[in-house]
Chains A and B, each alone.
Chain A
Amino acid sequence: MTAQPATRPEGRTGARPAGAHRLGPAAAIPPGEGRAYAVAGTQVAVFRLRDGRLHALGAVCPHAGGPLADGQIDGGVLVCPLHQHVFELATGCSRTGQPPVPVYPVTVDGTGELVVEMPA
């Protein structure tokens, strides 16, 4: 299977209001896995590391549109499931020569709910 870069629509992009968005309980993400959320027209993949840390990144692989939320992670990187391109969770930079993935600040509020900060 050769990987032609897919001319992939980013998704139904509506308005992009900035600011905090609440995404439901952090516990909904199994330890060590990622889940994707539609946040005001942007697809965001949120990963919950086994040590509890959280990272939120763009959900679409810049190489060929792979679903990054289905990727495997460790303490530092995310590996795209389609062609094993590697991205740093903290910075979104690729270690295999691809363009970077956007990174969004994410925290858990008092009630255990995920809060993602979307840029202006």
Chain B
Amino acid sequence: MRQRLVVVGNGMAGARTVEEILRRGGAEQFETTVFGAEPYGNYNRILLSGVLAGAEDEAGIFLNGLPWYAENGVTLRAGIRVTSIDRAARQVRAADGSATGYDKLIIATGSRPFVPDIAGAREPRRGFHQGVFCFRTIDDTRRMVRYARDHEHVAVVGGGLLGLEAARGLQAHGLRVTVLHAAGHLMNQQLDAQAGGILRRSVEQLGIAVELNARTAAILGTDAVTGVRLTGGRDLPCDMVVIAAGVRPDVELAAASGLPVGCGVLVDDQLRAAADVYAVGECAEHRGRVYGVVAPLWEQARVLADHITGADPAAAYTGSRVATKLKVAGVDVSSMGVVAPAGDDEFVVYAEPGRGVYKSAVIRAGRLVGATLVGDVTRSAFLVQAFDRDVPLPADRIDLFFDRGDGGGAALDPAQLADDAQICNCNGVSKGTLAQAVGDGANTVTAVMERTRAGKGCGSCKSLVGEIVGWAAGGAATVDPSDSWYVPGIPLAKPELMAAIRERRLTSVSAVFAALAPDGAEDAKSKMGLASLLRMMWPNDYVDERDARFINDRVHANIQRDGTFSVVPQLKGGCTTPAELRRIADVAEKYQVPLVKLTGGQRIDLLGVRKEDLPGVWADLGLPSGHAYAKSFRTVKTCVGADFCRYGVGDSTALGIAIESRFQGLEGPAKMKLAVSGCPRNCAESYVKDVGVVAVDGGRWEIYVGGAAGAHVRQGDLLATVDSPDAVLTLTGRFLQFYRENANWLERTYAFVPRLGIERLRAVLVDDSDGMAARLDAAVAESVAAYRDPWLEGGRPATDGQFRPSLPLIDLPLVPAR
């Protein structure tokens, strides 16, 4: 027998709670009745300002139209206000005289417009004066649009978000608009005085007059509005008034039925107000807080649904960290946490009043507890993440406000983007496709990226993808727990994974899956990461299961679009000899190689080699592999240095060759590109390499780490200045080993270095603060000693058919011969 569930309130919180309950099989458990005071389905109240401004049409803002209720077996009593709750008889009485019994009751009455006591605003007989409006419902909006047609000048009482939105919307109907704000600056709930001042300039530039410290005392005119009187006696002529002075939780019904009420209906962590009676949304007060933005409502709805359906009886709502990003009267505003500093909080501010830009951050004990952005919100995604995840902040506080190249700053606002705007340029994924994936139920960034393959190329669109997923999910995108796992198939972060591998002495990828994966199941996408990790941990004892290798690592060449391969022989430091060049040329002719190309890493690439020809090519080349295909040490670019160049102050060529000889083929979480320059003119581009060395006068060498010049451009941070090539070799090896042990899979040094911070790296690697330097040096030495040129497998294949063609009936190459 199904229980009777009654929901009082058909707004965003009430309807969303019903949806979440239905999603958890609520239809079998409950016979649901929803009472809505308005005669409509549930619509998105936030979009009313768009409807007022004529930018949205009414039909588009409905979340649950009337048919939705019938299709889901929910009885909707639209336009019927609930008048009382009889908790003894467990019945709800409505204005139409009906009485409906309940086993579980949810109160979602939302909030009411707050109307300050203004003389003349209300008519005893007809409610509001005919020229005075509130701005809360669709009907309010319709009446305002109709009334605005034949009126000239509107006074908006209230300079908060709602008031400014109403002002901007009415302006679109050709009205002169004056905002009357009682406080000292606009949006004083979210902004401090300086930010409010900058917002005011922007609003005034839109042609909206703003009067501050203006308290409205009375409405003038009986039949038609002729003006408003401010306290202090001044009169402002106008012929229409909109009251948007904030909202208060609608608790009248709850209070009348004896439920505990403070500012809102008092609820516990299960959103319970009393036995079998719950409250959710703007009418609820949880741990002293009432939430007026959407994201917390979704969280409350999920927890309440989990609890009431028994899907997760222990589900608890512990409050929300509120971050809002919105457009106020055309001005971008993003605000989170506290507005102003208290006690000895650190307060960082950047302001450009001329451009209407203001940024402030409140930092307490090294953590971001509040931030405000006006005019330029490009950093809001970064700040919201820092605020939500409580992560350590960049040492240079300016990095809070400006992206100085350490992450693809998302300069675009998701809402503004066209549906067909291409977000991921590597795999051609549009905003519409991302939104569709969210609509189909993928509500974490990871799930959306998995399904659409956005962000799976160079990764520089990841933060924008994250913003769009957050926007598409109505601010309720959750963080996928697997984000912190080293590989998707094993639910462990890197430190725990490495500890488990050592503890149980797991030396093969299949052993790791069997021991640590859910039900011991293999996962194709985790094999490459595990193979690289195990080879680093067990240089000599690693059991090399070839299926764990990606094809490039199986055949030691880079697969091309037609299934042929590119072959890059090792030319240490970018140096070669006539004899080597002749052999390269002879091989290119003998095997009809379609393209011979110089690479970005100062080497020569033979493109379009058939898989079955690889062993012959390697043998005829007589050169070792250049490792241009693996997640490993790639190359050391050099300039000719002191031996040739008149400016050279160090023998960069010799040092580059020495570094490449020592660390050739060293595997890692991602590729490692190095360079050595013979002087600060930096012709080998050392400043933008994973490890970059620059000779400086006096026989010394600067070592930079975390640089990049590919999908992502970043100047490396100076790790140390040393006074001998040997010291460079030691510190380079130590850094590479530390990176191999601590970076996430596919995390390049340009993300790893700023994540840990250069101070931490200097302490560990240069000052040996953690006493691990010796171990790191020994570990990398062990890997160096275990190195073996993979191209030797040409003579003795590691598996049957290692070089057997995979498209036997196609005459390769298909790539063009240039």
Contacts and interface: CB of A to CB of B under 8 A. Distances in A.
8 contacts: A3-B428, A11-B810, A35-B804, A36-B804, A36-B808, A43-B808, A72-B528, A96-B451
A12 B427 contact: no
A59 B805 CA distance: 11
Interface string A38-66: 10011101000010000000011000111
Interface in B538-577: 545-548, 550-551, 554, 559, 561-563
Interface string A64-104: 11111111111101110111101000000000100000000
Nearest to A11: B809
B3 interface: no
A75 B522 contact: yes
A18 B760 CA distance: 66
A72 B546 CA distance: 10
A60 B807 contact: yes
Given A30-B799, A82-B561, A74 B524 contact: yes
B510 A9 contact: no
Given A72-B527, A84-B456, A36 B547 contact: no
A27 B810 CA distance: 25
A78 B524 contact: yes
A120 interface: no
Listed from nearest, the 9 A-B pairs whose CB atoms lie closest are A32-B547, A11-B809, A67-B806, A74-B522, A69-B806, A70-B551, A67-B563, A74-B524, A30-B799
Given A31-B547, A32-B547, A50-B547, A73 B559 contact: no
A38 B810 CA distance: 10
Contacts of A37: 808
B799 A33 contact: yes
A4 to B, nearest CB: 9
A108 B814 CA distance: 34
B547 A73 contact: yes
B563 A74 contact: no
For B425, B801, B807, B810, which residue has the most chain A Cβ atoms within 10 angstroms?
B807
A50 B559 CA distance: 24
A65 B524 contact: no
B71 interface: no
A86 B452 CA distance: 12
Contacts of A68: 806
Given A30-B799, A32-B547, A70 B428 contact: no
Nearest to B804: A35
B521 interface: yes
A96 B442 CA distance: 13
A36 B611 CA distance: 13
A62 B22 CA distance: 39
Given A2-B428, A77-B524, A65 B808 contact: no
Given A72-B550, A81-B550, A83-B453, A59 B523 contact: no
B525 interface: yes
Given A35-B801, A65-B562, A73-B524, A84 B809 contact: no
Interface in B272-310: none
Contact of B547 (A72, A75, A82, A86): A72
Contacts of A13: 809
Interface string B501-536: 000000000100000000001111101100000000
Given A2-B428, A67-B806, A67-B807, A32 B545 contact: yes
A42 B425 CA distance: 34
A65 B813 CA distance: 13
Interface residues of A, number: 50
Contacts of A41: 809
A75 B456 CA distance: 23
A84 B547 CA distance: 16
Contacts of B96: none
B560 to A, nearest CB: 9
A1 interface: yes
A17 to B, nearest CB: 16
B800 interface: yes
B801 A59 contact: no
Nearest to A48: B547
A38 B450 CA distance: 33
A6 interface: yes
B806 to A, nearest CB: 4
Interface string B405-447: 0000000000000000000011110000000000000000000
B472 to A, nearest CB: 18
B809 A12 contact: yes
B800 A28 contact: yes
B522 to A, nearest CB: 4
Contacts of A32: 510, 545-548
Given A43-B808, A70-B806, A72-B547, A3 B522 contact: no
Contacts of B528: 72
Contacts of A34: 806
Nearest to B552: A81
A64 B561 contact: yes
B801 A28 contact: yes
Given A6-B562, A33-B547, A78-B524, A38 B808 contact: yes
A69 B554 CA distance: 12
Contacts of B524: 71-74, 77-79, 86
Nearest to A30: B799
A27 B222 CA distance: 97
For A33, A66, A82, which residue has the most chain B Cβ atoms within 10 angstroms?
A33
A64 to B, nearest CB: 7
A92 B546 CA distance: 24
Contacts of B810: 8-9, 11, 43
A8 B815 CA distance: 12
A84 B426 CA distance: 13
Given A30-B799, A59-B807, A81-B551, 16 more contacts: A11-B807, A29-B801, A30-B547, A36-B808, A41-B809, A43-B808, A43-B809, A64-B561, A67-B563, A67-B807, A70-B806, A72-B527, A75-B521, A82-B561, A83-B427, A83-B453
A17 B524 CA distance: 34
A67 B799 CA distance: 18
Interface string B215-234: 00000000000000000000
A93 to B, nearest CB: 14
A119 B769 CA distance: 68
B610 to A, nearest CB: 11
A50 B510 contact: yes
A68 B559 CA distance: 12
A11 B548 CA distance: 29
A65 B152 CA distance: 66
B811 to A, nearest CB: 8
Contacts of B809: 10-13, 38, 41-43
Nearest to A25: B800
B630 to A, nearest CB: 14
B525 A79 contact: yes
B806 A59 contact: yes
B522 A50 contact: yes
A64 B562 CA distance: 9
B56 to A, nearest CB: 31
A102 to B, nearest CB: 15
B454 to A, nearest CB: 11
Nearest to B808: A38
Contacts of A78: 524
Contacts of A74: 489, 521-524, 527
A13 B810 CA distance: 10
Nearest to A44: B808
B806 A6 contact: no
Contacts of B425: 2
For A12, A72, A83, which residue has the most chain B Cβ atoms within 10 angstroms?
A72
Nearest to B805: A36
Contacts of A71: 524, 551
A70 B563 contact: yes
A3 B561 CA distance: 8
Contacts of A9: 810
Given A30-B799, A50-B547, A36 B561 contact: no
